[in-house]
Amino acid sequence: MVQAKTFREDLYYRIQVIPLTIPPMRNRREDIIPLCLHFLHYFCQKYNIQKSFSDIVLKEVQEYDWPGNVREIRNFVERMVVMTPRAAREINVIPPGMLSSVPKPDSAASCDLPSPHCSRRGPSRDQILRALSECSGHREKAAEYLGISRRTLQYKIKEYHISPRCRYQTAD
């Protein structure tokens, strides 16, 4: 880079005192969750809110390759803290496109409450029915329980044709 004149020679010799080789995050998967939790704690203090990651989200972030390394993790955690509704205590879902290369084939089969989000499409019909049942039909509380906005819950209720008179029983 110095020979190609794309990097200043004086700066190169200043920072070349001790060469450090830090492997990429994809080769240090054991560091991903501690970094996520560190940044979660930092941003929760910064924004004066309390949040935690669900086990499903932690599994997804550990499977992701993090091509942007620590900076990408930091930005991801800050976006998750800021984008999750303030009333939701647990971050249950990663919005579509946030971690585009995470494979999701088996996660939908293993999902169950209390971690309601299994896919990036949001909660399933059965999960919505369970949440409504747990919250005695109170939609705002059910949305908070699911970690989604009330508007998203309304949209999903309409999409899944859930009747307002429904007893909120899950399908067996």
Cβ neighbours, 10 Å, residue 143 = 25
What is the model's pLDDT at position 37?
A: 97
**CB-based contact 53:37 (threshold 8 Å):** yes
> What is d(CA 10, CA 59) in angstroms, rounded to the nearest whole number?
44
Phi, psi for residue 103 in degrees, rounded to 5: -70, 140
- Give the per-residue pLDDT at 166: 65
Residue 11: predicted pLDDT:
87
Residue 86 has pLDDT above 50, yes or no: yes
pLDDT band at 95 (very low <50, low <70, confident <90, very high): confident
Instruction: Look at residue 112 in the predicted model and tell me its pLDDT.
Output: 42
Q: In the beta sheet, which residues pair with residue 52?
A: 90
| 119 pLDDT tier (thresholds 50, 70, 90) | low
Q: Please, which residues have CB within 8 angstroms of residue 101's CB and are 6 or more apart in sequence?
A: 64, 65
Please, which residues have CB within 8 angstroms of residue 92's CB and are 6 or more apart in sequence? 54, 56, 57, 115, 116, 117, 146, 147
pLDDT at position 48: 94
Tell me which of 144 and 90 has the higher pLDDT: 90
Tell me the pTM: 0.53
Cβ(85)–Cβ(148) under 8 Å?
yes
> What mean pLDDT is predicted for residues 5-24?
85
* Letter string b/e over residues 66-86, b meaning 16 or more CB atoms within 10 A of that residue's CB: beebeeebbebbbebbeebee
Task: Specify the amino acid at residue 62.
Answer: Q
pLDDT band at 100 (very low <50, low <70, confident <90, very high): low
3-class SS at 119? Answer: strand
Kindly state the percentage of the chain with pLDDT values over 70.
83
Most confident residue range from 62-66, 102-106, 135-139: 62-66
Q: Residue 100's closest CA among 148, 64, 74, 59?
A: 64
Residue 26 DSSP label: G
Closest CA to 162 of 108, 171, 149: 171
| Average pLDDT value for residue range 44-51 | 95
Residue whose C-alpha is closest to residue 27's, from 67, 76, 74, 71: 67
